[in-house]
């Protein structure tokens, strides 16, 4: 993750006021966006398992499942900053390799220290991953396997039994599935905006009344995907 990349944040705390305060802090922080917030810890599980979070602000004392138990469920899928009113759990938290431990009530300055630590770890992780990240993929097109450069893709469109890769001057039809493409393509660049469309965010020209314009084409943003899409673009 480069310094310009957006850090996708999830906030979990059984106290609504604590969730609201942290959400305000994140909204004030350049480069961070809240993609999900909840007072029920298990509601966050699917978001994290699907790889949609980079940083989790997690309370320790919650009625359904403790923060420590939840970290065991999610493994190393994202970085974690623990938030709690109980200092005695700090050592156990660091044994789980958490980024930081915020003792309530904490100030915006103290929160920013945690964010800087998280950004350093995420930048390091992304830098290592980018060395292995291919800039292309191979897809099944007709009777051959075709190489497609990722930066040449404007968007991908679902067409019944096929998907179409829209690239400069051509539309490549493939038997690949949208589900597979969503799982394979880099999530920081390729975003699902509709059941029928995955777009390359670097190719967006502008947004207009609920549509994304790419290469002169007006693509609809589905209701299911709208909030997450706008959050990833950093638009409130």
CATH number of residue 30's parent domain: 3.40.50.2300
Peptide bond just before 105 cis, omega within 30 deg: yes
Does one domain contain both 149 and 121? no
- Domain ranges, residue 219: 136-232
132, 163, 191 - which closes a domain: 132
69: left (phi over 0), alpha (psi -120 to 50) or beta: alpha
Q: What is the pLDDT of residues 75-130, one digit of tens each?
A: 888 999 999 887 765 455 455 678 998 999 999 999 999 999 999 888 866 554 55
Domain boundary among 99, 132, 165: 132
Q: 92 and 116 share a domain?
A: yes
Supply the pTM of this predicted model.
0.56
150 & 58 share domain: no
* Residues 20 and 69 both lie in one domain: yes
pLDDT in tens, 199-235: 999 999 999 988 999 999 999 999 988 888 887 777 7
Same-domain check for residues 213 and 227: yes
Say whether 6 sits in a helix, a strand or coil: coil
DSSP-assigned beta bridge partners for residue 198: 156, 192
Given 73, 102, 132, the domain boundary residue is 132
- The C-alpha torsion from 165 through 166 and 171 to 175, rounded to 10°, is 10
Counting Cβ atoms within 10 Å, is residue 150 exposed (0-12), middle (13-18) or buried (19+)? Answer: middle
Rounded Cα distance, 199 and 81, in Å:
31
Mean pLDDT, all residues of the chain: 87
Verify that 128 and 149 share a domain, yes or no: no
- Whether 2 is in a domain gets the answer no
Total domains in the fold of the chain: 2
Q: Say if 113 falls within a structural domain.
A: yes
């Amino acid at each position: 993750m480069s310094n310009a990349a957006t850090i996708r944040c999830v906030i979990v705390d059984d106290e609504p006021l604590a969730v609201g305060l942290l959400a305000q802090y994140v909204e004030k922080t350049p480069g961070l966006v809240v993609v999900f917030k909840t007072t029920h810890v298990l509601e966050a599980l699917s978001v994290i398992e699907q790889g949609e979070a980079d940083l989790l602000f997690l309370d320790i004392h919650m009625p359904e499942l403790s923060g420590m138990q939840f970290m065991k469920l999610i493994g190393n899928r994202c970085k974690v900053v623990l938030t709690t009113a109980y200092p005695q759990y700090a050592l156990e938290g660091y044994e789980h390799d958490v980024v930081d431990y915020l003792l309530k009530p904490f100030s915006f300055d103290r929160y920013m220290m945690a964010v800087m630590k998280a950004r350093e770890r995420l930048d390091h992780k992304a830098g290592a991953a980018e060395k292995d990240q291919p800039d292309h993929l191979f897809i099944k097109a007709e009777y051959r396997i075709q190489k497609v450069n990722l930066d040449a893709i404007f968007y991908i469109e679902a067409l019944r039994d096929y998907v179409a890769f829209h690239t400069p001057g051509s539309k490549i039809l493939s038997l690949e599935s949208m589900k597979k493409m969503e799982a394979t393509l880099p999530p920081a660049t390729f975003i699902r905006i509709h059941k029928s469309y995955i777009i390359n965010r670097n190719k967006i020209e502008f947004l207009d009344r609920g549509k994304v314009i790419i290469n002169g084409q007006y693509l609809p943003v589905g209701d299911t995907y709208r909030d997450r899409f706008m959050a990833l673009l950093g638009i409130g």
